[in-house]
A and B are shown apart, each in its own frame.
Chain A
Amino acid sequence: MSDRDAGDGRAGRPSQRAALLTETVIVAGACLLALFWIIPAETMDQAQLGLSPRMMPMSCIAVILVLTLGRCALDMVFTSQAKRETPRQPLRYALLVMVAAACGLTAIHQFGLLAGSVLLSLFVVLAIGERRPLRILAVALAGGAVPMLIRTLGL
């Protein structure tokens, strides 16, 4: 019996297995990086009093690593094909909006909160595909209204 028509609830298509393994490798890799490099470099091993400052971050990451490996193993055995198939929107949409937002943040860095917020709203509204001038104008004005209020009220 092929993976595709496995009726006993085991892991489904090879692409789904590959996605599961990729996710596991990424998360487990990040955990190992944190355990053996980031946490030792960014925390002291021993404190003069009490428990080690490293104890909690190390414990958290170790538990995440165990859970990730455990989930991978259990999903390989138990998860049904139907449950795994969750349709997702193409990543490019969100990436485009993230880039627009990042450009907006750069604009705030460069031109200040008021002008930057107007530009941020403009970039985002254009990124999500709005082309009607009146709506774009309304969004830009609304985007600048809050920082304007902050400045006016001296908050």
Chain B
Amino acid sequence: MEDLLLGIGDALSPDALLAVLFGILMGYVVGVLPGLSRPTALAVAVPLTYYLSPVAAIAFLVGITKASAAGGATSAIMLNTPGEPSSAATCYDGYPMARAGKGKKALKIALYASVFGDIVSTLMLIALAKPLAAFALKFGPVEMTAIMIFALTFIAALSGGSMFRGMISGILGIFIATVGLDAESGTPRLTFGMVDLFDGVPLIATTVGMLAFAEMLLQAEALMARKKAGATEIATMEETDTSISRAEVRRVFPTLLRSTGIGVGAGIIPGLGPTIGAFLSYAVAKKLARPGDTFGEGDIKGVAATEAADNAVLPASLIPLFAIGLPGSVSAAVLVSAFMVHGITPGPLIFEENAALIYGVYFSMIIASLVMLAVGRIGLTFFARIGSVSPAIIIPVVFALCVSGTFLEAHSMFAVNVMFVFGVLGYIMQRYGYSVVAFLIGFVVGPMFELSLRQALIVTGGRLDVWLEHPIALTMLAISAVAAVVFMFPGTRKFGGAD
């Protein structure tokens, strides 16, 4: 009870509330701008949280994530250009609504659906994370190793164009995480005599390089290739229908509930992420269409389905993160780095060691949802206009932000150079179809995976029959093996791009 009150107090402190507000504003801008993605914004924002309290820092980042998911719908509806990949499905019904003079109505539906999905998913997180963490505490190293292999297999399978390339990316991430002093013996590994590498490859520099810097290289490349791109104008159709009736609310509500459930599922299962969640939700809503539904021609159920699912993913993806320390998406992986910056390691022990912080984060998430509702409602038409800012302005500014943010990590150019190297590596990986998402998750869970694997090898003594005493681990490994074989062959992968 004391922890709960302390957490609520932290969440209601002025710096935490301001952090939420700034996070929401920044998230909306990021969501609206087609050139900036959610992971990019998160990666750039993590260094800005060094000087915030842990609750304010996480609240700031959660605010960005939530609002970027909601903001992505704005440009999807008004410009037919999704601000986020996860909002692409919103174009199907949102843009036809805008063309029919119902743009504001579509924006309202998208906002309310986002807030609904978000709050319900946050409540699921609050209800499920702690019991799951208590259960996870019973796991030994053998089970933890098997769970991480299971998660990495699914992330590799679903996060890119090829299962092999996804697995190679994830394992490369684990390999890069081995750089630094060996945890057991304390001897340097792969440091090339550089003292700066004794603590390992800097986490923030790697994240910023792989996500933000590489993304900007790709954006710049695309911009330069589109030599004379036609300027997209904001839709200026005369608004004929802006309000939502009670009958429409009743009509949409079952879709909202179902889509939120799908979003929660996509968040909990590693590797799925908001894009798959949103498309899956739209597909299910369309499949269950009733007579009179006009999916694809401007149906509010289509907008509600994608946005509720999109926003339900992030809170749900924190369930495995808090329960077993496993980030299921790249946004969750970036949040891990934010936790680590503040000396906190996500995992089952977090509820015992940092209970007040977790309650503070929960409460901040609820506050962020309400602030998102208020900010989104007030700035409905304003945010729609931000989408027209030229990428030629955004790209160089984000480059400068990458450098400044990385420099802040250690006030040294070493981290900046590392960021540049990983930015180039991230660009090459994305260009040739290697998953940056799988790499980063492998990199983040690498130390934990190595520790669990080593402990598991010592516990089992290298004997295979000992594994029979660990049915959970055996089941996980069997599912991973089947999934790997199924996904290895072409034609079995329908989706791509977790988060």
> Using a CB–CB distance below 8 Å, which chain A residues touch chain B?
9, 23, 27, 38-39, 42-44, 47-51, 53-57, 60-61, 63-64, 67-68, 70-71, 74, 78-80, 83, 86, 88-90, 93-94, 96-98, 101-102, 104-105, 108-109, 113, 116-117, 120-122, 124-125, 127-130, 135, 138-139, 142-144, 146-147, 150, 155
Q: Is the CB of B184 within 8 A of A90?
A: no
CB distance from B212 to the nearest CB of A (A): 12
Task: Enumerate B183-239 residues with CB–CB distance to A below 8 Å.
Answer: 184-185, 187-192, 213, 217-218, 220-225
Complex CA–CA separation, A43 to B431 (angstroms) = 31
**Contact of A94 with B397 at beta-carbon distance under 8 Å, contacts A42-B189, A86-B433, A89-B222 already known:** no
Q: Is the CB of B175 within 8 A of A121?
A: no
**Contact of A108 with B416 at beta-carbon distance under 8 Å, contacts A94-B217, A128-B220 already known:** yes
Closest to A121 in B: B396
B404: A residues at CB distance < 8 A = 113, 117, 146-147, 150
Complex CA–CA separation, A96 to B395 (angstroms) = 14
B172: A residues at CB distance < 8 A = 60, 64
B403: A residues at CB distance < 8 A = 104-105, 108, 113, 116-117, 120
Q: Is the CB of B178 within 8 A of A56?
A: yes
**Contact of A135 with B390 at beta-carbon distance under 8 Å, contacts A56-B178, A71-B164, A147-B404 already known:** yes
Q: Is the CB of A51 within 8 A of B187?
A: no
Complex CA–CA separation, A116 to B404 (angstroms) = 10
Q: Is the CB of B413 within 8 A of A108?
A: yes
Q: Is the CB of A74 within 8 A of B489?
A: yes
B224: A residues at CB distance < 8 A = 89, 93, 96-97, 128-129
Closest to B454 in A: A51
Task: Enumerate B388-430 residues with CB–CB distance to A below 8 Å.
Answer: 390, 392-393, 395-397, 399-401, 403-404, 407-408, 413, 416-417, 420, 423-424, 427
Complex CA–CA separation, A77 to B230 (angstroms) = 42
A125: B residues at CB distance < 8 A = 392-393, 395-396
> For chains A and B in complex, what number of residue pairs have CB atoms within 8 angstroms?
185
**Contact of A124 with B189 at beta-carbon distance under 8 Å, contacts A86-B433, A135-B392 already known:** no
Task: Enumerate B128-184 residues with CB–CB distance to A below 8 Å.
Answer: 161-162, 164-165, 167-168, 171-172, 174-175, 178, 182, 184
Closest to B218 in A: A94
B457 at the interface (CB under 8 A from A): yes
What are 14 residue pairs bridging A and B, where the CB atoms are less than 8 Å apart in the complex? A9-B490, A49-B185, A54-B189, A74-B488, A89-B225, A93-B225, A94-B217, A97-B221, A113-B403, A121-B396, A124-B396, A124-B399, A128-B224, A155-B51
Q: Is the CB of B225 within 8 A of A90?
A: yes
Closest to A123 in B: B396
Picked from A43, A122, A129, the residue with its CB within 8 Å of the CB of B190 is A43
Most buried by B among A60, A105, A109: A60
Closest to B431 in A: A88
Closest to B432 in A: A23
Complex CA–CA separation, A56 to B458 (angstroms) = 14
B450 at the interface (CB under 8 A from A): yes
Q: Is the CB of A67 within 8 A of B167?
A: yes
Q: Is the CB of B490 within 8 A of A79?
A: yes
Closest to B50 in A: A155
Q: Which 5 A-B pairs have the closest CB atoms?
A: A47-B185, A71-B164, A50-B184, A143-B400, A60-B175
Task: Enumerate B340-398 residues with CB–CB distance to A below 8 Å.
Answer: 390, 392-393, 395-397
B4 at the interface (CB under 8 A from A): no
Q: Is the CB of B184 within 8 A of A67?
A: no
B453 at the interface (CB under 8 A from A): yes
Complex CA–CA separation, A94 to B164 (angstroms) = 26
Q: Is the CB of B392 within 8 A of A128?
A: yes
**Contact of A143 with B397 at beta-carbon distance under 8 Å, contacts A78-B489, A89-B222, A150-B404 already known:** yes
Q: Is the CB of B400 within 8 A of A142?
A: yes
Q: Is the CB of A67 within 8 A of B168?
A: yes
Q: Is the CB of B420 within 8 A of A105?
A: yes
Given contacts A71-B165, A86-B161, 9 further A-B contacts (CB under 8 A): A48-B185, A57-B189, A80-B490, A94-B221, A105-B420, A108-B416, A124-B396, A135-B392, A138-B393
B168: A residues at CB distance < 8 A = 27, 64, 67-68, 71
Q: Is the CB of B400 within 8 A of A117?
A: yes
**Contact of A63 with B171 at beta-carbon distance under 8 Å, contacts A128-B396, A139-B396 already known:** yes
CB distance from B164 to the nearest CB of A (A): 4
Picked from A113, A127, A155, the residue with its CB within 8 Å of the CB of B220 is A127
Q: Is the CB of A105 within 8 A of B400?
A: no
B392: A residues at CB distance < 8 A = 125, 128-130, 135, 139
Complex CA–CA separation, A9 to B490 (angstroms) = 10
**Contact of A146 with B400 at beta-carbon distance under 8 Å, contacts A86-B433, A89-B222, A139-B393 already known:** yes
CB distance from A36 to the nearest CB of B (A): 14
**Contact of A43 with B189 at beta-carbon distance under 8 Å, contacts A71-B162, A89-B225, A120-B399 already known:** yes
A51: B residues at CB distance < 8 A = 184, 454, 457-458
Complex CA–CA separation, A94 to B28 (angstroms) = 28
B408: A residues at CB distance < 8 A = 150, 155
A130: B residues at CB distance < 8 A = 392
Complex CA–CA separation, A130 to B394 (angstroms) = 12
B188: A residues at CB distance < 8 A = 42
**Contact of A57 with B190 at beta-carbon distance under 8 Å, contacts A104-B403, A150-B408, A155-B50 already known:** yes
**Contact of A39 with B190 at beta-carbon distance under 8 Å, contacts A60-B178, A139-B396, A143-B400 already known:** yes
CB distance from A127 to the nearest CB of B (A): 7
